[in-house]
Amino acid sequence: MRDIILASQSPRRKELMESVGIPFRVMVSDSEEVFNEAIAIEDAIQEVAIAKAQSIAKQHPESIVIGCDTIVYQNGKILGKPKDQEEAFQMLKSYSNSSHQVISGVAIIANGKIESFASVTEVHFYPLSDEEILAYIEAEQPYDKAGAYGIQEKAKAFVKSIDGDYFTIMGLPIAALYQRLKKFQ
């Protein structure tokens, strides 16, 4: 079995990889997350994932390297990791009784070849009170999560429905990745 490297420090991505029995190791990419706003958002997120994978693949050309990135997208705007409580509050408030997209880009580099894809999931939230939002922020401290929430946390109580892959929302469309990895083994 070939060496597989996950170029991500996300504990959720690590858990998802482990949950389907993919043997791998983690190396954190030093690549900067730069979004090319001149292209489609699905293409831009793949470029970020490719850059993360390439930064590790250069040092380990014999390995299969997986790069990932996830964003929340609403009304033509990328919602990244909130910098403070106010920004987290505004993000969560914007989801109230509304919907947004979570987009995960994934890149696989092996044998000098790059395969990438994007997975898009539409998330619909119930109406949220200011008190609910503040209690969530206080309990979960969502500053390390794109869009200020983790669906696997208490925020699952806010989600009315999803259209797409649940695991995309967690940061890694694991089934789609698993199927693609079979080609590289």
Q: Torsion angle of alpha carbons 118, 50, 17, 111, nearest 10°?
A: 120
Nearest-angstrom CA–CA distance, 40 and 46 = 10
- The full set of domains in the chain, from first to last, is 4-184 (3.90.950.10)
- The CA radius of gyration of the chain, in Å to the nearest whole number, is 17
Q: Residue type for 106, please?
A: V
Task: Specify the pTM.
Answer: 0.93
Q: Residue type for 117, please?
A: F
φ/ψ (deg, to 5) at 104: -110, 130
Q: How far apart, in Å, are the Cα atoms of 89 and each of 122, 123, 142, 155, 157? A: 20, 17, 10, 13, 16
Residue 30 confidence (pLDDT):
86
**What does DSSP assign to residue 182?**
G
- Would you list the DSSP string of 73-91? EETTEEE---SSHHHHHHH
- Would you list the DSSP string of 135-180? HHHHHH--TTSGGG--TTTGGGGGEEEEES-HHHHHT--HHHHHHH
Q: Residue type for 37, please?
A: E
Give the tens place of pLDDT for each residue, 59-80: 999 999 999 999 999 999 999 8
φ/ψ (deg, to 5) at 178: -55, -45
Q: At what angle do helices 85-95 and 130-140 cross, to 10 degrees?
A: 130
Residue 1 confidence (pLDDT):
63
Residues annotated as catalytic (active site), given as ranges: 69
pLDDT in tens, the chain (185 residues): 689 999 999 999 999 999 999 999 999 998 888 888 899 999 999 999 999 999 999 999 999 999 999 999 999 999 989 999 999 999 999 999 999 999 999 999 998 899 999 999 999 999 999 999 999 999 999 998 989 999 999 999 999 999 999 999 999 999 999 999 998 86
